[in-house]
Every structure is written in C-alpha cells, then in structure tokens.
Structure 1
C-alpha cells in the first residue's frame, strides 16, 4: 500500500512539474545553433574592435553581419508565422511499437511560402519535416513516435520550428491543440490455449437473442461498420444504395470467451504483464474468428468478433487502472465459465481457467 501511495505521489508531482514547465515556457523561442553562436560571438568581437579602432572598414563589415543576423531572424519568423496545424493521431497505437502521428500544415500567408518547417509534439521525441508549403496550400507530414507503456497520454502542444534560411538560429512556436493518445497494450504475445475448463466456457454459457453477431438466425440489414465480415455484405442492396450494407445475424452468447482481468495488484511489473496476457488472449481469439468479451472492475465489453471488437477490448485495457484496492472482477456469467487473468499467483478456484502472470512467465 505504501508503494502504491508513493507511486501516486510521484505521478502527481510529475504532472505538477509538467504544468509549471509549460506555464514558464514562452510560446516563441529562439535557439542558437553552433554556427549561429560562433557567428554572433564573432559579430560582437568585431563590434568591439570597430569601436576601439574607429576603422570604417570594420564598421562596414559589422553592418553587413548585423544585417545578415536581422535577415535570418525575419525570414525564420515568416516561415512559421500564420501557419495552422491539425493533428491526426493514429487509431491503434501499441506500446513498444513505432507509430506515426499525421499533421496537416496549412500556410495562411498570401504571398510567402513556408519552407523547411519541422512539426512535432512538444513533450515527445520525433519530428515531421515539411520542405515547402505554398501560400494557401496544405501539406501532410508524419512524425514517428514510440510509447513504451500502455495508457491514455495527453497531447496538448504542437511545436513548429525552422532553421531557415542560414541555419544560424532555430525559431520555435507552440500551438495548443488539446487531444490524447490511447496506447493499447501489446496483444501479439504467444499465449497458450485455454485449458479444457476454459474450452467449456464457449459451450456451457447461457445464451441470448437480440445481439448482433457473426452467424446464426438471420435478423436483417444494417450499414457496414469497421471490422464486419466482408462475407456478410448484401451486394444487391449495396449496389442500390451506393454504400456497403451487411446482413445481421443473431448470436449465441454461449460461444463467447469471457476474459476477466483482475486489477488488484501493485502498478507495474507483473500487473502490466497480466494486461498484456489479457490483450493477447483477445488478439488470438480475434485471429481465430471466435467471439470474445472482457470484464474488469472498471469496464465491461459485450461479446463480439472481428477487428472492431478487438479495438473495443484494447481500448478498455488501455484505460484499466491497476490498484491494490480495486474490486474483484464481476463477470455477467458464472465465474466457472470465465478465464481469469491476474498478477497474483493462485489456484484455479472457482474460475474456469486462470492465467497468472508470474506462473505464465511473462
């Protein structure tokens, strides 16, 4: 319990420190490159020499160098001035896997193009490169990012930057774009098949009517949704309406594999391994085309199949809050018909099958 409290305190302190840092972070910044620092120091030294000697040639060179610096600062400001950005975070960020965040960069200036612009998240590494955006035009750039852990991460500030035209300075401008990135746990780990008691889950559960599913008694037609089986497309109605239409069937709940994740654990370590096991069980069921469902103390995902169902389960797992005082999982079917995934060692007990992160070697 003490470690849980200390972890929560560290997270709270980190959020407060980030808020303070953002408060004192100026919306526009000018950074010297190595060449820019050398050039500026040389200009200052030349200025002292010109004042000390009164040499007109030195004054002439000093004026040229100061004009060079002024022109560089003005042009770099024009490159990021009146530039609008829209973020398009990808659907399906997975912890430990590289992903790309897309940015739409629009140049609202009337005459000048924006050249050599970098765009990316202020709090994340990885930058997208936009070589040129004509006046009134829009360009799309993508920055590669990697999230090491699952969860919901706020995306608040996008940074525009340029070193145009001479590379002496780096001009940066912040654009506030509130958003978030939902990072799924890994769901490609090799996991064993549920044991015989777990196999009975998909045959002995209670059945119900009225829910849309993969196969069963014909129910009617509905618009296509992402993850639906292409074999269920009703081509005649699709051709008449000009949009995909799907045959809908009744489904038997007895065929659903219920995955129950126990959130009662200390954050990190084995707890995150348990989340990855639950996600991998769902991924394996999705690849086999079998219906599956999820139950935790915080969320419940009804039975379903396909890619859309897997996304719903992974979204719920990304938002799962591991804590020692979490309630026990309470599935809507008898526990003996469910598969329990937990970070704690223990026997099968009343559950149909148990995946303990420590015992599974994750």
Structure 2
C-alpha cells in the first residue's frame, strides 16, 4: 500500500468495493469493473518498473540547526544515463513523523532528460532538540498514470543535530579572576595573553642564557634577552544538573529543557569573551568539554547540550571527582541546578573549598527550602521554565 499514490489507493478500494457489491449476482457485473481497475493498476506497476532510471542523488543536509527554527534540506538530482527519467519525485527517510515527510513524497521534479540536473528542497522544522539520522532518499517515479510508485533507495547515513533554542543574554554578571594555567595559551590559542615574547631588554645578572636573543645581540653588539608575559587568563566551569527522579522525568521535562536552553545562553555569552569554558554534564553518559579561545567553538558546547538527557540516578558521585580535579585552574564555576538537596550542597561546598567563585541558578517552581545556598553562592537566582522560554536578558 505504501507504493500506491492517492489516486491508486482510490482505484484499489473502488475495485474492492465493486467486488463486494457484486455478491455473486449474475445481473450486476461489478466484477468486470474490478478486473478493469486491477488491469490498470497492473499496467501501472509494470510500466513504472520499466520506466525507472537510476539517477545520481546528492543530498545537501545541514549539520546543525536550531530547535523550532525553519531550515531547508535540498537534493541535487542528475540524470547521467542516456534515457529520460519520467515523473521523478523524492522522499526522505529517517526524520520523525512530526515533520510531515515520513509518508509524503515530494518535491516533484517531473522529467529529467539525459545530462539534465534539477534540485528539489524541503522546508522543515524540528520541534525537539537531539540527534536525528537521515537514513536514505527514495528516488521514485509515478509513470505512466500516477497510480503506482517504483523507486530506488539511495543510502545517505547522515546525522542532523538540532540545537536547543535559546535567547542570547545581554549581560552575565559573575565574579571572575585570573589564574596561572599549566601549559599556557599553547593549549588554547594565541588570542589574548600570549606565550610569544613581548620584547627584548639588556642582559642582567642572573638571566638564563637560554633567553638570549642572538639576532638582537648581533645587531646591537651587546647581549639582550627575550621578555615573556605570564600566562594568566579566565577559565569558567559550567556545570549542568541533569538529575531527575523517574517520576520527575515526565513531570519536570519542561524545567529540564529550560535548563538546557539557559546553559546554552550562558555558553553563548561566555564564548563572546576571551574565556576558556569547561562544560560538565552527567547524564546517562558523562560529558566533559573544554572550549573557548579557539580550542573549540560554541558549536562544540551546543553539540553536547543537544544530546544531554535526564539522569534518573544521582549523577553527582560520578561528576564530582572529575569536576574537582579540574578546579585548581578554574576561576569561576557557574552551576545550573534543578533542585536543592544534600548531594548538591556537598558539591557546592567542595567547589568553594577549592577557592572558586560560584554563581548558582535554579530552574523550576516550588523548589522548596533553599536555605544554605547563600552560604556558598550569595545572590543566587531562581527562574521558571516560562521565564526562560520568554527570554532572560540578564543573569
């Protein structure tokens, strides 16, 4: 039935109905109508198979799109054969039914003469973030009567990442400092503070002979040494709380998605400055990423946030050791929390004990007693999912 077009499906049921109405009566010749319609369908099936031509199909699929934002998938089709390909149309396989593509063929490209190239496109909107697989593209023909489809399946095997939708922040107020970073800017880029020497100066007693700048010595006729700038810069840790109980996964899904959007907005704001970002998120998998200053791009952070799912088992025991190991070089930790309990309190206490400044943001309604939070993060904020969806300008 999948290969029947709308018209073909109508003819099929007309033939079936005429047979049922006939009921074995010799007076009503309904079976003749059924045979005629069956013959038309049979001719369509044979003709479509004979008219089918294998074409070169090149899908043009974006790697990343944003949740709820329209985007386009295009497909370039070329007839490399010597015969005309008749009544060509296309279908994408693998995207969810919410896009309206799973059972619909289109666009219709018509006939392709030998050597001719045509391009078709789909306008899509994906309402949920995540990773989607575009499995294949059907190149079909409905020749000659538009009743039956015959197709070739072109494997694609491409993935499409849907980023969480977020509203960019205008300002992000957080306490920051500068710490010495082992390995220096060679780990990040040459943006901002640099390990390249800044200047040369005259040699002084106690200077290392390795620091001598030989070309300048030859030019000036006296020893000179290179001067370096110390490698200090800001490094921000963003910690994403993913723990929800099995019951809360459905009840607080909106809060979780809002927290993801907020984390994306914070990452976007931080990436505009010369900071190094460490992202920590513990879900079914543990995610850790260092980005910023050209070590990686904002897209790398959003790649992770696109795929993070709630964790129904407390994730702090798994997250805390890895987070604390990297805090020696972190100046500020921004934590997005979904609740407040003893495990989360221990995490914040451990962060502050390592000399890191804290900024804490809670997401949700009716979070209960938040006493004790100000002991670790004075001026913490609480936002609802609706506020985040409407857009938060300042944090």
TM-score class, shorter-chain normalisation, is 0.5 to 0.7
* Residue 205 (1) aligns with residue 179 (2): yes
Identify the residue that residue 90 of structure 1 maps to in structure 2.
62
Residue 14 of structure 1 is matched in structure 2 by: none
Q: How does 1:161-240 map to 2 (within 5 A)?
A: 161-171=140-150, 174-186=153-165, 188-191=166-169, 193-195=171-173, 198-200=174-176, 203-207=177-181, 208-211=184-187, 212-217=189-194
Partner of 1:247: none
Q: CA RMSD in A?
A: 4.2
Relative to structure 1, is the Cα distance of residues 292 and 185 closer, same or farther in structure 2, using a 3 angstrom cutoff? farther
Please tell me whether the aligned partners of residues 336 and 360 of structure 2 are also in contact (alpha carbons under 8 angstroms): yes
**TM-score w.r.t. structure 2 length?**
0.60
Question: Structure 1's 357 and 82: CA in aligned 2 closer, same or farther, altered over 3 A?
Answer: same
> Rg bigger for which structure?
2
Shift of residue 52 of structure 1? 6.3
- Give the secondary-structure state (helix, strand or coil) at the position aligned to 1:155: strand
Which of the residues 358, 366, 381 maps onto 1:352?
Answer: 358
Question: Which deviations, in whole Å up to 9, do the C-alpha atoms of 1:265-292 show, x marking residues without a partner?
Answer: 3543322222211111112234x44434
Taking the aligned partners of 1:169 and 1:215, their CA distance within structure 2 comes to 64
Offset of 1:29 from its aligned partner? 4.3
Residue of structure 1 equivalent to 2:289: 301
Contact 1:79 1:117 in 2 (8 A): no
1:333 to 327, 337, 340: 327
1:210 Cα deviation (Å)? 1.4
* Cα distance change on mapping 1:71 and 1:259 into 2, 3 Å: same
Count residues with an aligned counterpart: 295
* Pair 137,199 (structure 1): closer, same or farther in 2 beyond 3 Å: farther
* Residues 110/302 of structure 1: CA separation in 2 closer, same or farther (3 Å cut): same
- CA deviations 1:283-307 (Å, max 9, x no partner) are 2234x44434132142333242479
Whether the aligned pair in 2 keeps the contact of 1:213 and 1:304 (CA below 8 Å) is no
Unmatched segments (≥5 aa) in structure 2: 198-228, 365-381, 386-395
In 2, Cα distance between equivalents of 1:289 and 1:78: 62
Question: What SS class does the counterpart of residue 180 from structure 2 fall into?
Answer: coil
Closer, same or farther: CA 299–344 of 1 in aligned 2, 3 Å: same
The aligned runs of 1:51-200 (5 Å cut-off) are: 68-77=40-49, 80-124=52-96, 125-126=100-101, 128-131=106-109, 132-171=111-150, 174-186=153-165, 188-191=166-169, 193-195=171-173, 198-200=174-176
In 2, are the aligned partners of 1:29 and 1:171 still within 8 Å (CA)? no
TM-score of the pair, normalised by structure 1: 0.64
Does the Cα contact within 8 Å between 2:79 and 2:114 map onto a contact in 1?
Answer: yes
- Unmatched runs of 5 consecutive residues or more in structure 1: 1-27, 221-249
d(CA) in 1 for partners of 2:17, 2:244 = 61
Corresponding position: 1:283 with 2:296? no
Are the structure 2 counterparts of residues 204 and 123 from structure 1 closer, same or farther at C-alpha, using a change threshold of 3 Å?
A: closer
For 1:233, the equivalent position in structure 2 comes to: none
Q: Which has the higher helix share?
A: 1
Instruction: After superposition, give the CA deviation of every residue in 1:2-26 in whole Å (9 maximum; x if it has no partner).
Output: xxxxxxxxxxxxxxxxxxxxxxxxx
Distance 1:77 1:63 in 2: 21
2:258 aligned partner: 273
Are the equivalent residues in 1 in contact too, given 2:178–2:232 (CA < 8 A)? Answer: no
Q: Is the 8 A contact 1:78 1:114 kept in 2?
A: no
CA pair 65-307 structure 1, distance change in 2 beyond 3 A: farther
